[in-house]
Structure 1
Amino acid sequence: MAAHRSWLLVSCFLLEVLLLEAANILTISTLDGSHYIVMNRVSQILHGGGHNVTKLLYDNDQITDFRKEKPPYKVINWHLPEDQQKKFDNRLHLLVEELGHGRYEHKSLVKIYQFFGDLCSQFLSLKDIMEFLKNENFDLVLLDSLDLCSLLIVEKLGKRFVSFLPMQFSYINFGLPSAPLSYAPVYGSGLTDQMDFWDRVKNLLMFFDFSMKQREILSQYDNTIQEHFAEGSRPVLSDLLLKAELWFVNSDFALDFARPLFPNTVYVGGLLDKPVQPIPQDLENFITQFGDSGFVLVALGSIVSRHQTKEIIKEMNSAFARLPQGVLWTCKDSLWPKEVTLAPNVKIMDWLPQTDLLAHPRIRLFVTHGGMNSINEAIQHGVPMVGIPFFADQPENMILVEAKNIGVSIQLQTLKAETLAFKMKEVIEDKRYKSAAMASKIIRQSHPLTPAQRLVGWIDHILQTGGAAHLKPYAFQQPWHEQYLLDVFLFLLGLTLGTLWLLVKVLGAVTRCLSGAKKLKQT
C-alpha cells in the first residue's frame, strides 16, 4: 500500500513536470567550497526537471577543484582583472586562515562580509553582464541566502526569487519564521531544544546579541548600496530577504530540531545524494587489508583541507595510527609536512569518492569538519561521526549531531592525538551511535518524495501560480511591534492601569465622603 501511494505521488509529480512549459531560471553562486557544490547540484536538478538554467558564477581559483565535468546548463563566468583578482584572492586567503586557526570571532566574520561587500560592488560595476542578465528575461532566480550580493543583483534585475539556505534552520533572521526562544536555540548559543531556566535566559540574551551583530554584518553592504542604487530607491537588505517566494533549507528533521514552519519553507536535506558507484580497485584493496575491522573515512572539506596546520595534521595522523581500522584521508600530498611520517594504516589522497565510501559496507566511522553537506551524506548512509568543527556553522551542526546521538565532536583548539583516538574508538565500539545513525537514515529515506522531487515540484508550483503570495503570511508586511502584539499589550496594560487608577480615585472619593458624613454626624 505504501509503495503504491509513493508511486502514485511520483507519477503525479512527473505528469505535472511534463505539462509545464520550460522556464528560464537564473541561479547565482559567488561563494566557493560547499556553497558552489550545492548550487551546482540545484542547477543540475532544475535542468533535469526540464527548465532552461543559466548559472552566474564568480570564477576564482578556489573552485577549480570542483569543475571536472562540464555542466549541462549554461554558465556565465565573471572575474576581476588579473591584478585585482590576485589582491582579492590573497585577502580572502588571509581571512579564511584567520578563521581556520581558531581565531573565529565576530570581527572576523564582519571582515569576511566586508570583503564580499567590496566584491559585490565590483560585480555591479560590470555593465555588460548586468545588461545581458536584464535582457535574458528570466522567469525566476534561485540564490544562496548567505550570498547577500545576490539579493542586490536580483533587486537590480527586478525579478522574483527563491532563497536556498545552505545551513541548518537556526534562529537567524533570514526572513524565516522562528519558533519560540523557549525551545529554538539562537545561532551560536551552543544550546539544544531542551533548555532549563538558565539556558532560556542565555538564549534570550543571545537573541538580542545576535540581532545587533547581524545588523553590523548587513551594514558591510551599505557603501555598495549607496554606490549602485539611486537615492530614494536604495533597498534595505533585511527587507529584501522577506521578498523570497520560497525558502529551501538544506536540512530536514532527520537532523534538525522539530519546529513549526510557514508554508513557503521547504526542507530539502539530502540534495547531493546520488546513485552509489563501485569504488576504485586500489581503494577496495586497501580496505580489504583490514578485514572485519573496516575503515574510517576522513574528509574535512575543501576549504579546511587547504588551511589545516602542520600541528593539526601531526596530531590527527598520530591518532589514526592507534586504530585497528584502515584510514582513508582526503589530504593533498603537496600539503603533507615532510617531517611527519604517514601512519602505516593511513592512505591519503587528493580526492576520494566520499558518497561511494560512505555507502561501503565496511565503513565504521566518518571523521568530518561538520559541514552540512557532509553531515547530510553521512545521514543518508547511516554512518556515525566524529566532528572537528573549524568555523562558521560547523560547531552548530555538530551540536545537532550530538543531540541526535549520531556522533560526537572535539574542539579544534584542544585537538590532541589521545583525545581524538579515544573519541573515535568510543563511537566505533558503542553501538548506540550506529543505531541512532541508522534511525536518522530511515527518517530521511522514508519520505514519499526525494529532495530533488520536492525542489522541482515546488519551483513548478510557484511558476504555475505566478508566485507564492498564497504561501506567505501577512506577518511579513507587519512591523515588529505588531507581529509581537506589543501595541495590544501596551493598550491592555494602559487600560488596566487606567481602570485601577480610576477605581482608586473612586474608592478614595467614597472613603472621604463617608468619613466626612461620619464626622458631621458626630458633631
Structure 2
Amino acid sequence: MNVHFVIIFLLFIAVDFSSSLKILGVFPYCAHSHFSLGFRLMKELADRGHNVTFVSCYPQSKPIKNFREISVSEIRGPIDETKPSLVDFGKFSVWSQMNWVSALGELYTRGVLSSKGVQELWKSNEEFDVVVIEHFVNDALTYFHKRFNCPLVTLVAGPTTMFTNHMAGIPILPAFVPNILSDYDSKMNFWERLDNTYKQVLGEIFVRSVHVPSQNNILREFFPDAPDLRTFLYNSSIFLICSHTSLSDVVPLQQNIKEIGGYHVPPPKPLSEEYKIFMENATQGVILFSMGSNLKSANFEPEKKRAILKTFSRIKQKVIWKFESDLPEKPDNVFISSWLPQSDILAHPNTIGFISHGGLLGTTEAIYHGVPILGLPTFWDQKKNIEEASRKGYGLKLDFENLNEEVFAAALDELINNPKYSTTAKERSRIMHDLPMKQIDEAVFWIEYVVRHKGAAHLKPAAVTLKWYEMYLLDVLLFLLTIAAIIFYVTKTVVKLLICRKKTFVDKNKSD
C-alpha cells in the first residue's frame, strides 16, 4: 500500500515537472503601460506553475513564486528624458514621427543589451523552453531566442503596424486597412485611400531601409559574431496582438496572429478607503482623468490647466485626476494623485466618463468596463484610437493643441449628458466579453501551444520567406511589363516594315 502511494506520488511529481516550462519574458520598455502587459502575462504563467524569468524596468518589492526578475531600471532616466517631446509629436511629418519612434527604440535597445542583469543572463548557462518578447521598435532583442535556441513568441502592444507587418508576413492593404498614423476607418474615400497608400508605402520603405538596418547595427555592436538580423527576425512562431474587434474595424490576420486585446485587465480589486469614500459619495458620478504613463498632466501649459480646472469647478460630478505634483488651486470636487488604480476606478459603478490621451491600453480598459471616453490624443496611435471611439459612438475627440475652456466644457457636457456614449460603450463592452475563452487564457494557451509543437512551424505563413518585391509581385509585374514591351516593340517593328514594304511596292507600281 505504502509502495503504491510512493510510486503514485513520484509519478505525480514527474508529470508536474514535465508540464512546467522555463519561460523568458522580455518587456523592457520603461512605460508602466508596457510593463503591465508583460507583468500580467508573465505573472499568470508563473501562477500556473511555469518558471518565469522576467526582464523589465519595474522590479517588484516582494518576491513572487516561480517568478525571477532581471531589472533594467537603469535605462529609465534616458527614456524619461524623451517624454516631454511627445507633446509636439503630432506636429512632425510622417517620416519624422517614424524616425522619432525608431530612435527611441535604438536608445532603449542599447540600454537593455548593455545592462548588467542582461549581460549576466547572456553569459549564463540558462536554458529556456520559449522566449516571449514585447516588440516595440526593439528588433535586435529577438536575438534572445537565438541565444537560448528556443521558439519565439512576439507580443505587440496594439494592432500590427509597419514595424511588425513584415515580421509576420502581413501584406499592406491600404484600400481598407488604415495606417497607424492615419485617422481613417476602413471605409475611406479616394483621397483618403491615396493618403493612406502614401503612408503605408512610406512606412514600408522606412522600416526596411532605415529601422531594421539601425537595429542590425546595434546587434553587431554588442555581438560582432551575430548573423545578420534579417536571418532570424522572421522566426516568431506566434504574434499576440493587443487589439480587439470591439475597439476597431475588422482586418485580415494570418493564422500566426492572435488577438488578445483586454487580457491585461485583471479582476477589479477593492479600492483603498480614500478612493472608496470619495467615489461612493459621488451621487452624480465620477470622471476619471489620466494622460497615461508617458505624458504628465503637471506639464500642461498654464492656459490649458486653468481651462480644465474652471470646467471641473462648474460640474456636479467628482473628478479623479492623475496629476503628478501639488495643485493647490484645484476645486473641492477634484481628487489628485500621482498614481491611480485606473482599471479598478473604471470598474466602479459610479464612474461615468474617462478623459484620456487615447492610449490603447486605457481605451481597452474603458471599453472593458463600459465607460465612454473623452480623448485628448497627442502621440503615435492615440489619434487613431480616439477617432475610432468617436466614429463608433463610445467617445469624443478634442484637439489637444487648441484646447480651451469653451470647447472642453462643451465636450465634457456632451459626454456626461448624452446617454448614447454610455450606451454604446456598454454595448462594446458586451462584445469584448462575449468570447469562447478569456483573453488571458488564450494568451497562455498559445504560448504553451508553441512549446508543445516545437515552434509551431505549421502556423508560419510562406510570406515571411519572401522578399518585399516578391510579396507585392513586383518581379512578376516587371516580367509582364518587359514581355509587353518586347511584344509592343516587335509588333511596332513588324508593322513599320510592312508599311515600308507596302510603300515601296506602291511606289514601284507608280513608276511602272
Q: TM-score, normalised by structure 1?
A: 0.84
Please state how far the C-alpha of 1:308 moved relative to its aligned partner: 2.9
User: Who is 2:463 aligned against?
Assistant: 475
Please state how far the C-alpha of 1:409 moved relative to its aligned partner: 2.2
Specify the SS of the correspondent of 2:408: helix
User: Who is 1:99 aligned against?
Assistant: 86
Q: Structure 2 matches for 1:38-53, cutoff 5 A?
A: 38-53=37-52
8 Å CA contact 2:56, 2:69 repeated in 1 = yes
1:356-413 CA distances to partner (integer Å, 9 max, x unpaired)? 3222222211112222221111111111101122323322322322232221222332
**Which residue type is aligned with residue 56 of structure 1?**
V
Please state how far the C-alpha of 1:35 moved relative to its aligned partner: 0.9
User: Who is 1:153 aligned against?
Assistant: 144
Distance 2:25 2:139 in 1: 14
- 2:182 maps to which of 184, 189, 193: 189
User: Who is 2:7 aligned against?
Assistant: none
Q: Structure 2 matches for 1:260-279, cutoff 5 A?
A: 260-279=252-271
CA separation of 1:350 and 1:122: change in aligned 2, threshold 3 A = same
CA separation of 1:482 and 1:126: change in aligned 2, threshold 3 A = closer
8 Å CA contact 1:186, 1:203 repeated in 2 = yes
Please state how far the C-alpha of 1:219 moved relative to its aligned partner: 4.5
**Which residue type is aligned with residue 319 of structure 1?**
T
1:131-174 CA distances to partner (integer Å, 9 max, x unpaired)? 22xx2210100011014352233333333211000123344444
8 Å CA contact 2:47, 2:66 repeated in 1 = no
Deviates more, 1:303-312 or 1:434-443: 303-312
- 2:452 maps to which of 461, 464, 468: 464
Distance 2:18 2:247 in 1: 33
- 1:327 maps to which of 282, 298, 319: 319
CA separation of 1:173 and 1:277: change in aligned 2, threshold 3 A = closer
**Which residue type is aligned with residue 43 of structure 2?**
Q
8 Å CA contact 1:171, 1:185 repeated in 2 = no
Distance 1:307 1:110 in 2: 27
**Which residue type is aligned with residue 65 of structure 2?**
P
- 2:486 maps to which of 495, 498, 507: 498
Please state how far the C-alpha of 1:278 moved relative to its aligned partner: 4.1
Distance 2:77 2:266 in 1: 35
Matched, 1:138 2:131: no
Deviates more, 1:200-209 or 1:123-132: 123-132
User: Who is 1:230 aligned against?
Assistant: 224
**Which residue type is aligned with residue 80 of structure 2?**
H
- 2:388 maps to which of 372, 396, 400: 400
8 Å CA contact 2:343, 2:365 repeated in 1 = yes
- 1:168 maps to which of 159, 166, 178: 159
- 2:279 maps to which of 287, 297, 302: 287
CA separation of 1:318 and 1:235: change in aligned 2, threshold 3 A = farther
CA separation of 1:108 and 1:230: change in aligned 2, threshold 3 A = closer
**Which residue type is aligned with residue 209 of structure 1?**
L
Matched, 1:25 2:23: yes
Please state how far the C-alpha of 1:280 moved relative to its aligned partner: 4.0
Q: Structure 2 matches for 1:282-361, cutoff 5 A?
A: 282-291=274-283, 293-305=284-296, 308-309=299-300, 311=302, 312-332=304-324, 335-338=325-328, 341-361=329-349
Distance 1:278 1:391 in 2: 32
- 1:206 maps to which of 178, 199, 210: 199
8 Å CA contact 1:171, 1:184 repeated in 2 = no
Please state how far the C-alpha of 1:450 moved relative to its aligned partner: 0.9
Q: Structure 2 matches for 1:320-469, cutoff 5 A?
A: 320-332=312-324, 335-338=325-328, 341-469=329-457
Please state how far the C-alpha of 1:76 moved relative to its aligned partner: 3.1
1:194-229 CA distances to partner (integer Å, 9 max, x unpaired)? 211111121122223333443434444454323222
Specify the SS of the correspondent of 1:252: coil
CA separation of 1:440 and 1:79: change in aligned 2, threshold 3 A = closer
CA separation of 1:465 and 1:331: change in aligned 2, threshold 3 A = same
Distance 2:109 2:210 in 1: 12
**Which residue type is aligned with residue 38 of structure 2?**
M
Distance 1:91 1:280 in 2: 33
Distance 1:228 1:78 in 2: 19
Matched, 1:258 2:250: yes
- Matched residue pairs, number? 486
CA separation of 1:179 and 1:431: change in aligned 2, threshold 3 A = farther
8 Å CA contact 2:106, 2:218 repeated in 1 = no
CA separation of 1:363 and 1:162: change in aligned 2, threshold 3 A = same
Matched, 1:113 2:115: no
Distance 1:120 1:277 in 2: 33
Distance 1:223 1:502 in 2: 49
User: Who is 2:66 aligned against?
Assistant: 73
RMSD: 2.8
Specify the SS of the correspondent of 1:27: strand
**Which residue type is aligned with residue 216 of structure 1?**
V
**Which residue type is aligned with residue 196 of structure 2?**
N
Matched, 1:488 2:488: no
Distance 2:369 2:77 in 1: 38
Deviates more, 1:112-121 or 1:303-312: 303-312
Please state how far the C-alpha of 1:178 moved relative to its aligned partner: 4.0
Please state how far the C-alpha of 1:192 moved relative to its aligned partner: 2.2
Please state how far the C-alpha of 1:127 moved relative to its aligned partner: 4.3
**Identity of aligned pairs, percent?**
23
Unaligned stretches of 5+ in structure 1?
Answer: 1-16
CA separation of 1:179 and 1:404: change in aligned 2, threshold 3 A = farther
Distance 1:303 1:40 in 2: 18
1:422-480 CA distances to partner (integer Å, 9 max, x unpaired)? 11111222222223212211221111111012112212222121112111111111111
Unaligned stretches of 5+ in structure 2?
Answer: 1-14
Distance 2:496 2:128 in 1: 73
Distance 1:57 1:28 in 2: 7
8 Å CA contact 2:155, 2:240 repeated in 1 = yes
**Which residue type is aligned with residue 92 of structure 1?**
I
8 Å CA contact 1:255, 1:440 repeated in 2 = yes
Distance 2:179 2:440 in 1: 29
CA separation of 1:124 and 1:330: change in aligned 2, threshold 3 A = closer
Please state how far the C-alpha of 1:181 moved relative to its aligned partner: 0.8
Deviates more, 1:278-287 or 1:365-374: 278-287
Q: TM-score, normalised by structure 2?
A: 0.86
CA separation of 1:19 and 1:222: change in aligned 2, threshold 3 A = closer
